[in-house]
Structure 1
């Protein structure tokens, strides 16, 4: 057991490590503003410690309200020799007391203690960050997932970790429905894993999350851009009747039209276009399929139509629902010609 523990606690060679594989070490730095990823990294390290030694004692601090001596006391040897875990959050707002104690502790980390600290960014505590990097402690990057491709990979990996499979189109629908909040996306994955059986397809995602604003807007836009006017209007009217705001629907229309305009006439490989345009490969493919319904003049005309509708739904019209319906109708008719 002692040998296994020693290997598990060996620091890595310094730079970054994937948060999913975050492992115990004498000192670990979680670095970045994404609180959800930091929380998952804390959980991963704690779980590995408890799997190795179930009696591990965990102490948690908020560095902003820290008082002198607390860290050294928490890391002091246990009466019965159990391992200890010390988790420290809010390093970006650390007190001067914590800074001094942490710098002192770093000179000689205690045996059988795993100290995990999260710094969300900023200049506060730079002296400590520099010392941690100089000591080559393992650093777990906790950066936001900004690109759709990163979110799709996150969703697929969540299901793989649960030994489940989600179809690619279902993963895209889930990302579109839940939006940019990673905590919500993680919760949505967890809900689908717990509440369903077998592979998760798009119908399943629609059943659970189809009423979300983002999903509704993109469904309306996809139907309109491919000339399916009846479906676009039916989806739109249902969304409006159930309280969906017209603003995000117009935003989805505008985004989809801009994507089609970007790829129209392009003959480059999908991967190259995705990189140049800042789009996910699946977005390029979808926009290319939709572009076949459009001429340059129609795109320009409908982009103007959507710009007018955007102003109307944001206060320039007394009837924003009519404005968005007029835009959807105009786009669907243009796509059919």
Structure 2
């Protein structure tokens, strides 16, 4: 059996990833101990001079122990120093597992763990590391004992952007909605994200930006029949169009309140080629006019949004605005 450090410190900006890394260690420790591990868990701020655990007393039944401290950056100085002493002198009978968002407040303790070989820095993938983001999504599916198709993984990223918490949420929802024992598909993820079948309003937006009026209209009517309100559908269409404009303009989506994963940006670049000079501006004008018509009550709401979708999707129906008024070429 490998010799392990007396303590571990998992630190990083994403609490969920830090928790996942610590849980993997605990699972390994349990497996190495033959399936038994006595785990105690506390929050760093709850420890003080009078509430430090007895780390030197072995388990009554000789079961290996792990002592987990969440939010270790909140440890009072006396508690941090006590844990540092236990680590440096290897007097604890339990493996100490610390989880922290940073080390500035516990620098001495962090150095002791690092010297013992137990520091683990946990960080999300960088923005351009597409493969690592897909791996992260697949890891989440595996936590639920599920597998997912490649396009389902991409759908999760499309819906979540580069938010680790959003990825975990969407994966959990998709796993709950998918048939047991089956691979999770994009259709399931889309149903979870949108709330209705037929890929909902975002599917309408995809077909609209593909300039496929027949499919866009069929999907739109499916959404309306399912009870989706035209205002909510219009919100999804406008969001997709704003994403398209942001990618076309080379703008960082986050700077304008948009979630755009790198794989999604690549697909949006492809959709951008479906629009000629000035047509993105015209598309936004169609959707803005639809918003006014729906909210003013001057036109039947279903008819107003059908007309807007056809106006954007049908190339012959999309007039190019006056060049002097163009927002984006």
TM-score normalised per structure 2: 0.70
- Give the secondary structure class of the aligned counterpart of 1:73: coil
Matched residue, 1:19: none
Matched residue, 2:137: 155
Matched residue, 1:116: 97
Matched residue, 2:244: 256
1:221 maps to 2:173: no
| RMSD (CA atoms) | 4.1
User: Which region of structure 1 is more displaced relative to structure 2, 100-109 or 176-185?
Assistant: 176-185
Count of residues in correspondence between the two structures:
297
Can you give the 5+ residue segments of structure 1 that lack an aligned partner in the other structure? 10-24, 264-277
Q: Distance in 1 between matches of 2:126 and 2:306?
A: 33
Matches within 5 A, 1:158-237: 158=140, 166-177=148-159, 180=163, 181-188=166-173, 190-191=175-176, 195-197=180-182, 199-206=183-190, 211=195, 216-236=200-220
Structure 1 residues 106 and 212: CA distance shift in structure 2, 3 A: farther
Q: Distance in 2 between matches of 1:279 and 1:194?
A: 27
Aligned residues of 1:92 and 1:120 also touching (Cα < 8 A) = yes
- Give the secondary structure class of the aligned counterpart of 1:37: helix
TM-score normalised per structure 1: 0.69
Can you give the 5+ residue segments of structure 2 that lack an aligned partner in the other structure? 252-259, 319-329
Structure 1 residues 161 and 256: CA distance shift in structure 2, 3 A: same
- Give the secondary structure class of the aligned counterpart of 2:39: strand
Aligned residues of 1:61 and 1:87 also touching (Cα < 8 A) = yes
Matches within 5 A, 1:1-337: 4-6=1-3, 9=4, 25-53=5-33, 54-68=35-49, 70-110=51-91, 112-121=93-102, 123-133=104-114, 135-143=116-124, 149=130, 150-158=132-140, 166-177=148-159, 180=163, 181-188=166-173, 190-191=175-176, 195-197=180-182, 199-206=183-190, 211=195, 216-236=200-220, 238-239=222-223, 241-243=227-229, 245=232, 246-260=234-248, 262=250, 280-281=262-263, 283-284=265-266, 286-303=267-284, 305=286, 308=288, 317-318=295-296, 327-334=308-315
Aligned residues of 2:205 and 2:236 also touching (Cα < 8 A) = no
Q: Distance in 2 between matches of 1:194 and 1:42?
A: 30
Aligned residues of 1:66 and 1:98 also touching (Cα < 8 A) = yes
CA displacement 1:69-107 (0-9 Å, x = unmatched): 544514433345432101110223333342232233332
Q: Distance in 1 between matches of 2:39 and 2:56?
A: 10
Q: Distance in 2 between matches of 1:239 and 1:330?
A: 18
Q: Distance in 1 between matches of 2:97 and 2:282?
A: 56
CA displacement 1:130-177 (0-9 Å, x = unmatched): 544455423140548867934433233455788865332232224335
Give 1:65 deviation, angstroms: 1.5
Q: Distance in 2 between matches of 1:81 and 1:165?
A: 38
- Give the secondary structure class of the aligned counterpart of 1:68: coil
Structure 1 residues 287 and 242: CA distance shift in structure 2, 3 A: closer
CA displacement 1:33-88 (0-9 Å, x = unmatched): 32322332232122211212134221111111112254451443334543210111
Aligned residues of 1:221 and 1:256 also touching (Cα < 8 A) = no
